[in-house]
Structure 1
Amino acid sequence: MLKVLLITYYWPPAGGPGVQRWLKFVKYFKDFGIEPIVYIPENPTYPLTDESLISEVSDEITIIKQPIFEPYRLAELFSKKSSKTISKGIIVKKEKQSLIQKLLLYIRGNFFIPDARKFWVKPSAKFLQKYISEANIDAIITTGPPHSVHLIGKELKKNIDLYWIADFRDPWTTIGYHDKLKLTKGSIEKHKELEKEVLTSVDHLTVTSYTTKEEFLKITNKPISVITNGYDTEKISEVKLDSEFTISHIGSLLSGRNPEKLWQILFDLTQENDEFAKTFRLQLVGAVSEDVLLSINEAGLSDFLDNNGYVSHKKAIEIQRSSQVLLLVEIDTPETKCIIPGKLFEYMVSKRPILAIGPKDADISRLIKETNSGYFFEYSEGSEMKNVILSYFGEFLEGKLKAKTEGIEKYSRRELTRKMVEVLKKVESEK
């Protein structure tokens, strides 16, 4: 049985999408002859927590921890609210930023490269170098963001002859919020330098999207596998469909995820269609930026809004399955066309129709079309979007609204683990 060390920042009780991917891989590894050992920070500052996820971690899994210094704790002395929103990735528009927010962003972007967890790198590499030798580890996996975790792998690779897989849940220098960190020219170059060092010293790269693979192929000749996020079989009792026409977004709505045309379309429908006005609810679950809430209110939708805030993963799944339509929104920039959020696959398995909005040529468009799970629109496609919403609403009134999803089995967490194991099995062939 191969012994594999996973180095990750996010682990239960961390909440949010960052923890799900490797929580599930670890869950299924032993079924495929892999013994996982998980290395995590002892005292992290997670922006979101979900205690319910702790129950998904098997007692048979070896977990080792080392302390981490978290600068966000110091930032909270200046502004607890601003530091927490920044750590969640919620960055308000430039013209609305306070002096404190601008200062925190500048410090975060230029003093903490690649990110604020950089102080975990050296002590972790020192501790793990000894641990790996004593525990007879066959391979290590680093997963980011935070991308400082990959620097632990880079340090270990320099000193130990072992197989290293770097898993990128999101890209590095082209991630959506990078241009909002007020980076100096020197800081931008430092990010690119570190990114290249990781991409060229690793043995194998795994990424979650096709676009990220194309991007990395321009930097490295190392093998790259696309292993998307996926869905797991959830033990949740049957839920009833909402009696109202709920359009629900599950997850963070950052300032850039603000489809103002959609908000206007929904308001227009409440004015043009009395039945729509009686039954429509816009349901938001998760962290929502003030910019998005302001746009929704300015569009006239405040009376139709249910803003639930963050809920447990189990509760989020229940809401997905009871909603009439599931809304997926990605930032409208070329840099974000590579993002395939994990919730897309959970949406698919919920068997509720999807309404997705994002940038041109987005990878999510390809997957939605492939699985026939809904419709994708660019931000500019107003009339087409309105027609689809009316079509969904008509089916809802007839009691016939449901998804026509097909071919999603390959995106189950178990099948995706099989793909990851195929990469790990290369360790045996190269021994």
Structure 2
Amino acid sequence: MKRKRVLIISHIFPPVGGSGVQRTLKFVKYLREFGWEPVVLTVGKTGYPLQDYSLLKEIPKDIKVIRVDEPSELSLSNLKENLTLLDGIVDDKIKLKKYFNLIKENKNQIRDLILPDYYLFWANNVLEHISTVLDSGSVEMIYSTSGPFSDHIIGYYLKMRWCKPWIMDLRDEWSNNPYNISDKKDNIFYQITVLIEERLLRTADKVLTTTPVTRQNYIDFFRLPEEKVHIITNGYDEEDFNSLNSNLTHNERFTVVHNGLFYLIRTPVTFLQAVHRLISKGLLEKEKIKLVFSWSENDKSWIEVAHKLELKDILETVGYLEHKESLEMANRADALLLIVGPGRKNKAVYPAKLFEYLRLRKPIIALSPNGGVVDNLIRDLECGINCDFDDTEAIEKYLYELYLQWSSSNIRVSTPLEEIKVYERKCLTKKLANVLDILAKEYQEENLSKTFLRFKIEELVEVNNISEAKKLINEYTRKYGFDAEIFSILGIISLSVKKIQEAENYFLMGINEDKNNPHINFNLGYLYELKGNVEKSLQHYQNVLKFSEDVEMNSEVESAIRLLTEIIKP
């Protein structure tokens, strides 16, 4: 059975590395098993700091991957062109002008001030060049994933251009993100962000989130229909664990591993303070504990904190590791540290690495808000303890319990593997395929209704009942907007009352929507024949033969071409 094709828009895709790459990579890896053929649109040359070339091996060899480079340099000359993308999304022109003025006044800070993020420049590059590598007929569906949020700018404009169903996948919340430092209601950057987000959410056909709290936040704040918003969590890929050693010996030192990034409010400070206090009280022997942190942009700052707390000798920072190496490191740990961060908003956050931690089946020390999604999951699966980020006493208590278990070689997690398998990447990809299938069916049914309504309009025009036809055109455009076929019908109505210039304008708007549409090309061919512009008439008639499968229309066009050719013969 022929697979349906979905365009996957994802800047973060191999060889770009980091935790955010896993979700998209695994969807691409497994979608074929559920009847969908992914076509990937991603970045080529990029300044993104994390690279993991080992992940390229997981992309099925014959998957089509389209790569568009980031602009080589950012100049003020192309800033206006990029900001035009926002002008086509944000309706509040007063606020938008205020934001644009702030950009102009702070030209040296464009990288930090551009919305939704710096990758808007890449998005603009994609939209400029996409027609040279892909056309609307190449895919049945559009899917975009963030971050960066500019991926959704591409998804929005392609949906508008191609009239295709679009799924908007939010790996993290956007304006409500707990790491958003500009979330005050009177902040113009926050206001513009919300306006962009709201327009895109309302335009998207389906919205994906990763946690139940995030889903409810989107439904409540943006008043989205419940059936529009779906949950697909992050997860783990069983194949990644097949080669890991399951018979590890007892570590000589109690080893706690944090396998991920620290940034903004997600820091190891309170955990390091708890370790320091246990050592100071004599409850934990310094020579018998080891802390391992993977790569972070600000490694030096955590080393400095460890130094002040007299923990520098027990802290090892290993730098950025390829995905397989990072799993091997975590697999050798006695306990795994999961830091989400403080604050109410973090109640909605599942860090991507949580599910790989679950599959490793080692005790998890989680630092996230009590009552949040991480706390609930860890309690349900009995795979560790969650402590509020700032509760150093609770962190101390559980860390000491684990240390005693390690000392007696009795450190383990008893969660049955069956309870974890719901987070396996293949199962999650099946959920995505189900959403794709549902949307494809809804879109097909809508297209049938749309086609039927358009057929009724065409019938009314044929019998010259223009007033009733216009009423149905108004109904059609309220539901579906203006498309190539409606512009064509409006042009025919104008032709019927001898408004030639008005008819030409409508036909040209239709061609702008769909240059390959044989009916509009036919109408333009006829119109230019009436106007005596033989060259343009022939051009559009030739397009009809190129794109039409209508034998009767093609026969009529061939006759017209012969007559016109005779006219222009010397």
Aligned equivalent of 2:258? 249
Provide closer, same or farther for how the CA distance between residues 264 and 123 of structure 1 changes in structure 2, counting only shifts above 3 A.
Answer: closer
Provide closer, same or farther for how the CA distance between residues 360 and 351 of structure 1 changes in structure 2, counting only shifts above 3 A.
Answer: closer
Aligned equivalent of 1:24? 26
Aligned equivalent of 1:260? 269
- Aligned AA for 1:302? K
User: Displacement of 1:156 after TM fit?
Assistant: 1.5
Determine the C-alpha separation between the residues in 1 that align with 2:71 and 2:19. 23
Provide closer, same or farther for how the CA distance between residues 73 and 127 of structure 1 changes in structure 2, counting only shifts above 3 A.
Answer: closer
Provide closer, same or farther for how the CA distance between residues 123 and 271 of structure 1 changes in structure 2, counting only shifts above 3 A.
Answer: closer
User: Displacement of 1:377 after TM fit?
Assistant: 0.6
Q: Which is strand-richer, 1 or 2?
A: 1
Aligned equivalent of 2:165? 163
Provide closer, same or farther for how the CA distance between residues 230 and 307 of structure 1 changes in structure 2, counting only shifts above 3 A.
Answer: same
Provide closer, same or farther for how the CA distance between residues 273 and 62 of structure 1 changes in structure 2, counting only shifts above 3 A.
Answer: same
SS of match in other structure, 2:399: helix
1:3-36 deviation per Cα after TM superposition (whole angstroms, max 9, x unaligned): 1110110111111011110100111111111111
Note the 1:320-359 alignment, pairs <5 A. Answer: 320-359=330-369
Determine the C-alpha separation between the residues in 2 that align with 1:44 and 1:224. 32
Determine the C-alpha separation between the residues in 1 that align with 2:254 and 2:304. 23
- Aligned AA for 1:53? L
Whether the 8 Å CA contact 1:45–1:70 is kept in 2: the answer is no
Determine the C-alpha separation between the residues in 2 that align with 1:249 and 1:292. 13
SS of match in other structure, 1:152: helix
- Aligned AA for 1:280? I
Determine the C-alpha separation between the residues in 2 that align with 1:344 and 1:168. 17
SS of match in other structure, 2:280: helix
Determine the C-alpha separation between the residues in 1 that align with 2:321 and 2:383. 25
Determine the C-alpha separation between the residues in 2 that align with 1:307 and 1:394. 25
- Aligned AA for 2:328? E
Determine the C-alpha separation between the residues in 2 that align with 1:61 and 1:160. 22
1:225-248 deviation per Cα after TM superposition (whole angstroms, max 9, x unaligned): 111100012142416353310111
Provide closer, same or farther for how the CA distance between residues 291 and 311 of structure 1 changes in structure 2, counting only shifts above 3 A.
Answer: same
Q: Does 1:107 align with 2:110?
A: yes
- Aligned AA for 2:431? K
Determine the C-alpha separation between the residues in 2 that align with 1:209 and 1:255. 21
User: Displacement of 1:219 after TM fit?
Assistant: 0.5
Note the 1:250-399 alignment, pairs <5 A. Answer: 250-273=259-282, 276-287=285-296, 289=298, 290-399=300-409
Determine the C-alpha separation between the residues in 2 that align with 1:238 and 1:389. 25
Whether the 8 Å CA contact 2:266–2:339 is kept in 1: the answer is yes
Whether the 8 Å CA contact 1:106–1:181 is kept in 2: the answer is no
Whether the 8 Å CA contact 2:13–2:42 is kept in 1: the answer is yes
Q: After alignment, is 331-340 or 317-326 more displaced?
A: 331-340
Determine the C-alpha separation between the residues in 2 that align with 1:409 and 1:263. 33
Q: What is the RMSD of the two structures over their aligned residues, measured on CA atoms?
A: 2.5
Aligned equivalent of 1:90? none
Provide closer, same or farther for how the CA distance between residues 255 and 324 of structure 1 changes in structure 2, counting only shifts above 3 A.
Answer: same
Q: 2:245 aligns with which of 213, 238, 248?
A: 238
Aligned equivalent of 1:144? 146
SS of match in other structure, 1:39: strand
Provide closer, same or farther for how the CA distance between residues 313 and 224 of structure 1 changes in structure 2, counting only shifts above 3 A.
Answer: same
Aligned equivalent of 2:435? 423
Q: Does 1:59 align with 2:61?
A: yes
1:85-142 deviation per Cα after TM superposition (whole angstroms, max 9, x unaligned): xxxxxxxxxxxxxxxxxx89953342x1111111233342354467654643110100
SS of match in other structure, 2:5: strand
Determine the C-alpha separation between the residues in 1 that align with 2:378 and 2:431. 21
Q: Does 1:408 align with 2:420?
A: yes
Q: Percent identity?
A: 27
1:51-100 deviation per Cα after TM superposition (whole angstroms, max 9, x unaligned): 111111111211112232166899xxxxxxxxxxxxxxxxxxxxxxxxxx
User: Displacement of 1:175 after TM fit?
Assistant: 2.0
SS of match in other structure, 1:10: coil
User: Displacement of 1:208 after TM fit?
Assistant: 1.2
SS of match in other structure, 1:425: helix
Aligned equivalent of 1:195? 197
- Aligned AA for 1:16? G
Determine the C-alpha separation between the residues in 2 that align with 1:174 and 1:181. 7
Provide closer, same or farther for how the CA distance between residues 173 and 260 of structure 1 changes in structure 2, counting only shifts above 3 A.
Answer: same
Q: Does 1:4 align with 2:6?
A: yes
Provide closer, same or farther for how the CA distance between residues 408 and 237 of structure 1 changes in structure 2, counting only shifts above 3 A.
Answer: closer
Determine the C-alpha separation between the residues in 1 that align with 2:328 and 2:431. 28
User: Displacement of 1:167 after TM fit?
Assistant: 0.4
Determine the C-alpha separation between the residues in 1 that align with 2:41 and 2:389. 41
Aligned equivalent of 2:218? 216
Provide closer, same or farther for how the CA distance between residues 165 and 69 of structure 1 changes in structure 2, counting only shifts above 3 A.
Answer: same
Q: After alignment, is 224-233 or 208-217 more displaced?
A: 208-217
Provide closer, same or farther for how the CA distance between residues 405 and 70 of structure 1 changes in structure 2, counting only shifts above 3 A.
Answer: farther
Question: Between Structure 1 and Structure 2, whose CA radius of gyration is higher?
Answer: 2
Q: Which is helix-richer, 1 or 2?
A: 2
Given the two structures, how large is their TM-score scaled by the length of structure 1? 0.87
Q: After alignment, is 120-129 or 347-356 more displaced?
A: 120-129
Q: After alignment, is 262-271 or 223-232 more displaced?
A: 262-271
Whether the 8 Å CA contact 2:278–2:284 is kept in 1: the answer is no
Aligned equivalent of 2:519? none
Provide closer, same or farther for how the CA distance between residues 104 and 56 of structure 1 changes in structure 2, counting only shifts above 3 A.
Answer: farther
Q: After alignment, is 282-291 or 302-311 more displaced?
A: 282-291
Aligned length: 402
Whether the 8 Å CA contact 1:271–1:277 is kept in 2: the answer is no
Q: Which runs of 5+ in 1 are unaligned?
A: 75-102
Aligned equivalent of 2:231? 226
Provide closer, same or farther for how the CA distance between residues 255 and 131 of structure 1 changes in structure 2, counting only shifts above 3 A.
Answer: closer
- Aligned AA for 1:428? A
Determine the C-alpha separation between the residues in 2 that align with 1:140 and 1:264. 47
User: Displacement of 1:181 after TM fit?
Assistant: 9.9
User: Displacement of 1:259 after TM fit?
Assistant: 4.6
SS of match in other structure, 1:17: coil
Aligned equivalent of 2:50? 48
Provide closer, same or farther for how the CA distance between residues 405 and 106 of structure 1 changes in structure 2, counting only shifts above 3 A.
Answer: farther
SS of match in other structure, 1:421: helix
